[in-house]
Structure 1
Amino acid sequence: MRFLCAMTLWLSAFAAIAGESPARTVQTFYSWAIAPEHADGDVAQVRQLLGRDLFAALQAQRAYEAACAKLVPTDVKPHMLDQSPFFLWPDQPTALVSTTAQVTGDTAQVRARLAVDGQQWTDTVVLGRQDDRWVILDIAWQEGTLTRRLTEFAAQRCEP
């Protein structure tokens, strides 16, 4: 009976995600990414919002950081990202102010207006359809993209 209840809840949650718009997917993602309790960045919590390739790249980045940490002495800082990978600057936003979506077929771009301490900026979230739902494929900033940041991070050797 417990299994049946759990399965029903999971399926209803998945069905709700499947029907969400690109803007709603982005809003759900940023409500997670901005929350202080998610500062550890465990992307498994929002796996259903991320494209398969992006999720795999984020998991690989975390595994690479862990492997680098094992190679260096305890008094040496290992090769790592010093901030959330989802934001250009270390100052993490405290609010998602607005979203504006542009949808063309199975692709979408959502401009997300973010804010911290009275400053605002806009990031562009690129989405696509996978498994009948909108998922995040990349995030573009004024100076690059999330996927480029992850690629550049992985290209650096972690040496003791």
Structure 2
Amino acid sequence: MEIGDLRKVLMSACLRGKKVRYDGGTLVVADQIVERWRLEGRIVSVCPEVEAGMSIPRPPAEIFNGSGESVLNGEVDVIEKEGGKVTNEFLAGASIALSLCHKFDISVAVLADFSPSCGSSSIYDGSFSGQKVPGMGVTAALLREHGVLVFNQYEIAEADKALIGESV
């Protein structure tokens, strides 16, 4: 198998060191597995919010009274701290991430936990108080709905096993 034929992994751009977070920062992950993926050309980076046209920096946003699934179902919104509704941007970014998965035949994603887009196990509760609740962000929920295995930055080894076809 050629290196170019290796299965790709979708990864939050902020975890790759790109300054795309709402505050212009990163959440860079220094990990041997991620470095191997990079050298093998496996990583497809995405920041759903930036891909949807949101600025860097941008106001913090949280899912109000729900999770990514409830945003996808049209039940709740993604709200900026000042009160602006950015649901459409988050839905557009999630669709772009899903399109990348289809384009590159990606079935494994490593996304930044706690994000209203990328959170896969926990997100902020919508009160802008720093409180986290179990749940997924909009992109993580859409990817899982379409069969993509979504992991967070603390589950790199599990993502690697899924990527190379071992049971997780």
Q: TM-score, normalised by structure 1?
A: 0.31
| TM-score when normalising by structure 2 | 0.30
Name the structure with the higher helix share: 1
The structure that is strand-richer by fraction is 1
Q: Who wins on radius of gyration, i.e. which is larger?
A: 1
